[in-house]
Structure 1
Amino acid sequence: MDKLKQTILITGANGFLGQKLMEKLVNMQHYRVIATSKSENRNFIREGYTYRSCNFTDSAALRSLLEEVHPDHIIHTAAMSSVEACENDPALCEKVNIEAVYQLGKYCAQYDKHLVHLSTDFVFDGKEGPYKEDHKTNPCNAYGKSKAASETRLLSTTCRTAILRTILVYGVNGDPKRSNLVLWAKAQLENNNRINVVSDQWRMPTFVNDLANACILAIEKEATGVYHISGEEMMSVLDAVYYIADFWQLDRSLINPIRAVDIGQENNRPRKTGFILDKAKTDLGYAPTPFIESLREIEQQFSFYNK
């Protein structure tokens, strides 16, 4: 084995961000990449890394994996991210979103390794967005509460960690089962299906390529602290879908604006989040892609994934 290469462990490697990270990291010759998820490998890229299945709710299995791999860096993307799932199974939510993060933090503190942990705009209540990193958290749902708690537990380990909060991640990768706002809206409108889209929730959507780049920048700079990573344009979810429809020349009349209260999201989703990105730009060199430009990149990527 090449002793000069640093080992990076990607958790949640079957997930949306995890797969995008794999694509980028396997082409970086100075890293040895280890990928892990609970299930079998679903990555579009099949070579250039080692894959290990691991159930992160099993602390012994997690510790065994860490002792086997001895990563220099961990990018922890694995999470239970459904608001409803976290509400319905709080015990599992705690194991996945809090306890596993704490275990990773303890390992990194013990061996002086570096950890990038993914968090969310849902740690805020959406009443004062856009937010800086030091704004007081006040989550309004179980998912947000678990991610806020994960940040606190992780920092208590005193490990070297960069916590990257992000917002409404979108884009395309090679997994046909993976969807997001852009792919969902595009597919529904192309099939002439009417869609209900919330008009009174505002976000700064994040291009998955940008988020993956931010994770790698955090690794390369061995950054520590909290960083806000998102797009730079504030828009309602409805406006985002209108952009998507217009870009692919799809029928806007199929889009039905609704309010958060109409679908029971008035109180359990933040109304307006958004991030102030100055710290990430200055410290990491983060450069978000404009929303329309990202749609052009997605269109080009469809051919790469045979979509």
Structure 2
Amino acid sequence: MKIEVLNKGLYSLIIDNGRVGRQRDGFCESGPMDSNAYDWANFLAFNLDGTPCIEAIGEMRLKVDEDCTVAVTGREPTLCIDGIPSAAYQSQQVSAGAVITFGSVLLGSKVYLAIGGNWQVPKAVGSACTVVREQLGGLDGKGSALKEGDCIEVLTNTRNQESAKMRSLAQRHIDDYGFLESIRVIPGYQFSNFSTVALRTFETSSYTVSSAIDRMGFRLIGEPVTADIENMRSEAIHLGAIQVPGDGQPIVMMRDRQTLGGYPKLGCVSPCDISRLAQAVPGEKVNFVFQDEEEARADWLLMTSRRRRLQGEIL
């Protein structure tokens, strides 16, 4: 099957699980900004974990030339098939020649389109993920974002999908992408280099998501916090690490972050909350709270076991 891009939206990429374990070789991790939505999209489209899909910002339009099964997820996602509104977070059977239009009600948030089958896209350093900054991945192998006229090939297995029960995730189980609850932060290596006043300021202040956000990092605007470190050696940066440069304005490092950084770090956003933060758009306000690493680990285990239980119930 060929998927033709009719409208690329604002910014659309082919992504998968990313280049896990390759930071030591100088490659950024990459992968989905909202890993929860990405995982659900593939599950609902009858794909294996780690199958490539499309991460899009803005409204995107595609045309398929064979029958297939698709699923759209993300923050407030929308989906139309041949102009007819269809449910997101649900398996959808699409006929040959159909036009799929998907996006988000909230401009700037990410949506994910999974199409059931084996994606025939090139891999670089073990992943099909597109990293524009590194000129790596994508259909051309040079890190190019999707554009009008691009064609993606997928080997579909509609016989198995048509005989299977269509899958859907109930509204009550879809992630809450609001920010009434604080983003949990696990203290990092330089935590003790921040004064009690600085740490209290960080926990009690609201930070505005700036317009300077991308897949590399989210810059926040609010009460400045500083550490007593003047110089430090660069060290590896984990997903969600909160770096504090000289101006005291925190930067949360995201999927396409550089491998090393030399700014002091308050800590790391909990893996339970990083997908929620990744869906924030400029102007939204977020709050943070520090969390013990053992509590964070327990929360992560509960979240992953809940997802597997839900998927088992849906099967």
TM-score surpassing 0.5? no
For the pair shown, the structure with the greater C-alpha radius of gyration is 2
Q: Comparing both structures, which one devotes a greater share of its residues to strand?
A: 2
Question: What TM-score does the superposition give when structure 2 sets the normalisation length?
Answer: 0.30
Instruction: With the length of structure 1 as denominator, give the TM-score of the two structures.
Output: 0.30
Q: Which has the higher helix share?
A: 1
